[in-house]
Amino acid sequence: MKVAKFGGSSVASAHMLRKVAGIIQDDPERRVIVVSAPGKRFDGDTKVTDLLINLGETFLNDEPYEKEIDLVINRFKDITDELELGDKILKEIRQDIHDVINSDYNSELKLDAFKAVGEDSLAKVLSVYLQSIGMQASYLNPKDAGIMVSDEPGHAQILEESFDYLYKLHEREGIVVIPGFFGYTKEGKLITFSRGGSDITGSIVAAGVKADLYENFTDVDSVYCVNPNIVDNPREITSLTYKEMRELSYAGFSVFHDEALIPAFKASIPVCIKNTNNPEGLGTYIVSEKHTSYNPVVGIASDSGFLSLYVGKYLMNREVGFGRRLLNILEDEGISFEHTPSGIDDMSVIIRESNFPKRKEERVVQRIKEELKADTVSIERDLAMVMIVGEGMNSTVGIAQKATEAFANAAVNLEMINQGSSEVSMMFGIKSSGIEASVRSLYQAFFGEYE
């Protein structure tokens, strides 16, 4: 059995849903289908989830919201009209929206319930469409599928017992269409995952049914080894490990939701990223075992928006607990950190700028100076992290040399070097302005000879 998940752009229009149906028909193993809400059809279009968030906020602000409801309904009407599915399903969607409006949920739960209407309605539309073309298909609500989650609106976590329930999907006849993005608490409250969370549902369902493969259909042929906005026509990655994918998505690879890897990884279900517009393409496989590869580096990732908090104190190396006290201050201030490169008398803490708002800066610096009696405390913003990733790196000599040479060739100064203990990645801190030049130069160094 395969679980196939179709993302927002794959279900954005009737034209795309025809392609989706073709893909489902092509392989009888594709028995469980997970869908997103309709996404953007063109640049500048609005995702249905964003229309729903807007509707929810308008309603919660006590403003007139009829127009916002119509915008949502019209997106589905465009699809159902073209697929000739009649009006019954549109009435049902409108009723679902009014049920949320009239419910006695608090505002957080209401907002989650509004958001869920997008995937829920699309799952209903797709199952009716599949039936209309003669396929045996049915809609299945996540509650009936057994997707049970924690009570954290907008950030649900799956509960372990869900997996056993999901296995029962094997007993169902025909194709099952499940909406992604939400589950239910034990008390029956609807709670959504974080944004982009249909990937998580797909992965949970694939783990639950112990699928042979979790296919994640999107709008790119595969995962590229480097950001295609920086390097033209970069190499496609045909296969990589969960660990490599996790490292890459840390610094800017956004093809697949971060949290979605975990359920598939724990159950050892291979994941395949494929293109709905080119289903014959090979796609990218994410697997648990290291594949033999000619190149120890599988990908180069980069992300800006980091800062470095520098703390210097003479004889820091003799002071037991200095690092803990420094990190305690950050914990106290609710700031999470990424890395802590350190020297004899100094320590830097690398933090995402979004986690360290400017308004906290003065207080944090003051606290470190006073409580830790530090000699120097300074903050450098506007940093970027560039990473090279590959499980083959730990058994290959000369990777760091090749990488640093690439930075030198690009005339980019290195502010920090960090090789994680797992040796799956090597990370370089630079000024944000140097990202493009260094990524191009690294690409040339590690992939140029295979061009």
Contact residues for ligand ASP (CB under 6 A)? 8, 36-37, 47, 49, 118, 180-181, 195-199
Contact 267, 210 (CB under 8 A): yes
Q: How far is the CB of 143 from ligand ASP (least distance, A)?
A: 18
CB of 155 to ligand ASP, least distance (A): 12
Residue whose CB is less far from ligand ASP, 65 or 181: 181
Nearer to ligand ASP (CB atom), residue 12 or residue 410: 12
Which residue minimizes CB distance to ligand ASP?
Answer: 198
User: Looking at beta carbons only, is 154 or 312 nearer to ligand ASP?
Assistant: 154
- Cβ distance to ligand ASP smaller for residue 37 or 387: 37
Please provide the DSSP assignment of 292-355 as one string: P-S-S--EEEEEEEEEEEEEE-TTGGG-TTHHHHHHHHHHHTT---SB--B-SSEEEEEEEGGG
Shortest spacing between CB 276 and ligand ASP, in angstroms: 14
Q: Could you tell me the maximum CA-CA distance found in the chain, to the nearest angstrom?
A: 77
- Alpha carbon 364 to its chain centroid, in Å, reads 31
Q: Could you give the C-alpha distances from 4 to 139, 159, 221, in angstroms and in order?
A: 15, 22, 16
Q: Is-contact 147 167, C-beta < 8 A? A: no
- The Cα–Cα gap between 201 and 182 comes to 7
Q: How far is the CB of 196 from ligand ASP (least distance, A)?
A: 4
C-beta of 14 vs 53, nearer to ligand ASP: 53
Tokens of 371: 């409580």
Whose Cβ is closer to ligand ASP: residue 5's or residue 313's?
5
Q: How far is the CB of 85 from ligand ASP (least distance, A)?
A: 21
| CA gyration radius, the chain | 24
Q: Which of 340, 343, 345 is nearest to 312 (CA)?
A: 345
Which residue lies nearer to ligand ASP by CB, 194 or 277?
A: 194
- CA distances to 180, 378, 387 from 177, rounded to whole Å, are 9, 54, 38
**In the complex, what is the shortest distance from the CB of residue 178 to ligand ASP, in angstroms, rounded to a whole number?**
13
Whole-angstrom distance, CA of residue 209 vs CA of residue 171: 10
Q: Indicate the residue among 37 and 251 with the shorter CB distance to ligand ASP.
A: 37
Query: Considering the complex, what minimum distance in angstroms separates the CB of residue 35 from ligand ASP?
Result: 9
- Minimum distance of ligand ASP from residue 194's CB (angstroms): 8
Q: Show the beta-strand stretches assigned E in 66-144.
A: 137-139
Q: Smallest Cα–Cα separation from 238: which of 223, 253, 252, 257?
A: 223
